[in-house]
Amino acid sequence: MRDRRSLAGAWASFQSHGFAEPAPALRPLVSRYWWARWDLRGQPDYVQLMVPYPNVQLTFTDGTGWVRGVSRGRVTRTLSGRDSVLGVAFRPGVFRRFLGAPVDSITDLSVPAASIFAALPVPESTAALDTLLSSFIGHEDPVGDEVAGWVDDITATRELRRVDQLTSRYNVSERHLQRLFAEHVGVGPKWVLRRFRLHEVTERLATRSAVDWAVLAADLGYADQAHLTRDFTNMFGEPPTRYAARY
């Protein structure tokens, strides 16, 4: 049986979340800060679905910091009691300068933040995050910056749907493009393209208007509705209509 607290936004009765911008000097490195708080005292645990994005995440909860690589599929976390989490979503493409290794070495993994950020204090606010990360502003990685610009381009350019379009646009071979994305983003360019195509599905669902799935599938470059539904389910853990019921 599905937890009724996951339907029609009922989860908002016991949890809240929000976002904040980093300091201007950090915006080339950080996409956003985010936070979540929940109070489940007197209630059963809740399994939270987290949809994947191509961002490496730094999170703090229970006095501990963790770095989570890009998750290629759905991720769940069990919430219990009363607690909160403060997080950093790094800009896709830039984390190699922090990690000192290919970013795909932590894909689908969570590692203690102290193994990457030495003597890491636990910040209590986004202002403290600004202070914590400011020491990395001068760490240059021109290749990572270029790849980050490509991800921004993919995000903003709806017409980009295939890897061959990227190789032509950025004047690189497919093999070289794959290597750069593995090294600096943690997932391949095909995954990133698919992720942002599927983001358009969630945007359509958010309008609460009727969706012609066959037309939408064709509009997003899918062969048919079944291929769209399969990709969405693999990425988000449930078919699009079930996902819509959650929100």
The pLDDT tens digits of the residues spanning 229-246 come to 999 998 888 888 888 777
Confidence of residue 1 (pLDDT cuts 50, 70, 90): low
Q: Are 137 and 25 contacting, i.e. CB atoms less than 8 angstroms apart?
A: yes
Q: Are 163 and 174 contacting, i.e. CB atoms less than 8 angstroms apart?
A: yes
Q: Are 33 and 19 contacting, i.e. CB atoms less than 8 angstroms apart?
A: yes
Does the pTM surpass 0.85? The reply is yes
Predicted pLDDT of residue 247: 66
pLDDT digit string, tens, across residues 180-220: 999 999 999 999 998 988 888 888 887 777 788 888 888 88
CATH architecture of residue range(s) 142-246: Orthogonal Bundle (1.10)
Predicted pLDDT of residue 212: 86
pLDDT digit string, tens, across residues 28-49: 999 999 999 999 999 999 998 8
Going across the sheet that includes 15-20, the strands are 15-20, 30-39, 82-90, 57-61, 64-68, 110-112
Q: Where along the chain do the CATH 1.10.10.60 domains lie? A: 142-246
In b/e form, how buried is each residue of 90-123, taking b as 16+ CB within 10 angstroms? bbbbbbbebbeeebbebbeeeeebeebbeebeeb
Taking the C-alpha atoms of residue 32 and residue 23, their distance in angstroms, rounded to an integer, is 10
Q: Are 42 and 203 contacting, i.e. CB atoms less than 8 angstroms apart?
A: no
* List of residues 6+ apart from 18 with CB closer than 8 A: 34, 35
